[in-house]
Amino acid sequence: MVYFRWDHDEQELMTFELHVHTTGWVAFGFSPHGELPGSDIVIGGVFPNGSIYFSDCHVVDEATLEEDESQDYQLLSVTENETSTTMLFKRHLRTCDPNDLDITFAVPVEETKYACTFIPLPVVKQKHHIYKFEPVITPHNITLVHHILVYACGNASVLPSGIDDCYGANPDFALCSQVLVGWAVGGESYQFPDEAAISIGTPWDPQYVRLEIHYSNFDLLPGLIDSSGVRIYYTPELRKYDLGVLQTGIFTFPVHFIPPGAESYTSYGLCNSSQFDEMNGMLVPDLHVFAYLLHTHLSGRGVKVAQYRNGEQLGIICEDNKYDFRLQEIRDMKEILIIKPGDEILVECNFQTLDRSGVTFGGPSTMNEMCLTFLFYYPRNNISSCMGYPDILYVAHVLKQEASDAVEGMMAMDFVDWDNETVKIAEKAAKEADQVVMIKTINEIQRNETGLIRDISIPERAACHNISGYLSLSGWRATANLRLTAVCPSESSTTKETASLPLLSVTQLVFAWLILASEYGK
């Protein structure tokens, strides 16, 4: 029904072509919040006598359209045939007319930019569930977009309008900390399990979300226009549970640091959930974790998340010891994992900074670092994040640096004579230091808890297996002589066990391979 093309030049002049399967008139406009009132509209068409009309207007209310005093759209052509109308026109990105909306978003010529805006969720008359989301990345900007996060806003929040730096001079653009959905480099679309989805449309559900897009314009390219975002799918066919997302790990700033020249450096972030019930306003049901998303930046090499109850480790929630920044995707748990209120969640991140000559600090830039894990669970509660960071004064003093507050403690890291010994001293001190645990709710209520970093016990790995063999083909039938070789590498043994299997048909071979792959994860 509608075919739309647009482009822009270096003078920030936009050109539009609108082709609509209709006759009479066509209109195109920009809306501040997806609604008609306040919209900036251009309307045009062809009269029955062949003359044309074209006007720059704005919408006052649902029933009133007024012509702008300043006509800032320029008509290039409008034509009509028996079935369609085509209108070609142009306009500058910014016209300075209060009735014209600025066209955005032009990506700043900056290495790092966090752009935020607040968007209303769909208005529905009854409860619906968001069951799927997918990234929509402007194709030529695939290397520009670092991550996209959508945060739910508490309904008591007073939200700003427009687009601004998420963590800049206006703190209102950092409101809303309850992650709903997220995408990072390498991720794809994700559909929630059949038993749980994100609730919208009830009095307890958010009405607005904060859209956060992190741009990494390393080459400082000018004139980049981006329209990336996230598409969500929702349905009145309800799931059994409402789901939530718990953000855990290291509070990104102000005290996270990684020394330079480190072959391996480990940081820790603790979540102590002992106050969850009180902060939630009611008892928190057990969290049934079904998926997770791990996130570090370029120096991250591994992420591990452990669970503790009454001081004892229950196991590893999730881990990736070969973390790849380019493959950040939501991963399903093999089995549902239960987290009870009062449990501790410890996130361990391993970094390598052999290519860096200065300290890497926690922060928003891709060249800064993060250590985060997003746990997807059901049923939902009001806790949005639970993250920890070490007492930086303790770390500074262990490194024999003078500091009287956290700011001086972080500045002192730049004066350490970093080598293999001081790297390990800093790692040990950060692990031994008291942890401050920051817990936040969807309504931006924040409370601090304390805790200590415990050791993570790694379960013994099953024996490794190596499969080798050869396949001979004869006519349309194939047979195989399959040889199994089990190699268990260790410092003291290179024992090999071999076993010969009889000739197999292709069908038998496929089933044998599937069984082995399932058994040994190959």
Q: Can you list the domains of the chain with their CATH numbers? A: 2-92 (2.60.40.1210), 104-242 (2.60.120.310), 244-455 (2.60.120.230), 466-520 (no CATH)
Residue 468: predicted pLDDT: 58
Contact by Cβ (8 Å): 213, 228: yes
The number of beta carbons lying within 10 Å of the beta carbon of residue 225 is 18
pLDDT digits (tens, 9 = 90+) for 307-342: 999 999 999 999 999 999 888 999 999 999 999 999
pLDDT of residue 105: 82
User: How confident is the model at residue 459, as a pLDDT?
Assistant: 79
Interacting residues of 431 by C-beta distance below 8 A, sequence separation 6+? 266, 268, 390, 453
Q: Please tell me the predicted confidence (pLDDT) of residue 9.
A: 78
Helical (H) or strand (E) element with 433: none
DSSP symbol at 10:
T
Coil, helix or strand for 463? coil
pLDDT at 141: 87
User: 111 and 152 in contact (C-beta within 8 Å)?
Assistant: no
- The pLDDT, as a whole number, for residue 517 is 52
* pTM to 2 decimal places: 0.74
Q: Among the options 114, 151, 190, 377, which is catalytic? A: 114
Contacts of 434 (CB under 8 A, 6+ apart): 390, 391, 394, 450, 451, 452
Count CB neighbours of 74 within 10 A.
15
- Phi and psi at residue 294, to the nearest 5°: -100, 145
CA 235, 115, 256 angle in degrees (round to 5)?
Answer: 105
Q: What is the per-residue burial (b if ≥16 Cβ within 10 Å, else e) of 130-164?
A: bbbbbbebeeebeebbbbbbbbbbbeebebeeebb
Amino acid at 69: E
Q: What is the pLDDT of residue 101?
A: 87
Pinpoint the alpha helices (H) of 127-240. Answer: none
Query: Nearest Cα to 150, choosing from 187, 114, 179?
Result: 179
Provide DSSP, 79-104.
Answer: EE-SS-EEEEEEEES----TTSPPP-
Q: Model confidence over 152-182: pLDDT tens digits?
A: 998 887 898 888 999 989 999 999 989 999 9
* Ordered mean pLDDT values, 10 residues apiece, the chain (522 residues): 84 90 91 83 92 94 92 94 94 89 82 92 94 90 92 88 89 92 92 97 94 92 86 96 97 92 97 94 96 95 97 96 91 96 97 96 91 97 96 96 93 96 97 95 90 90 65 43 40 39 46 50 45
Q: What is the pLDDT of residue 431?
A: 97
End-to-end CA distance of the chain, in Å? 49
Q: Which amino acid is at 131?
A: Y
Q: % helix / strand / coil in the chain, to the nearest 5?
A: 10, 45, 40
Active site residue 295: yes
Query: What distance in Å separates the CA atoms of residue 43 and residue 33, rounded to the nearest whole number?
Result: 20
Which candidate in 128, 146, 147, 295 is catalytic? 295
Q: What is the Cα–Cα distance from 358 to 369, expressed in whole angstroms?
A: 13
In sequence order, which residues have a C-beta less than 8 Å from that of residue 15 and are 6 or more positions away?
Answer: 6, 7, 8, 9, 76, 88, 89, 90
Distance in angstroms (rounded) separating the CA atoms of residues 455 and 459: 13
Check residue 496 and give its pLDDT: 38
- Find out whether 406 and 393 touch, Cβ atoms under 8 Å: yes
Q: Which of 192, 263, 309 is closest to 424 using CA atoms?
A: 263
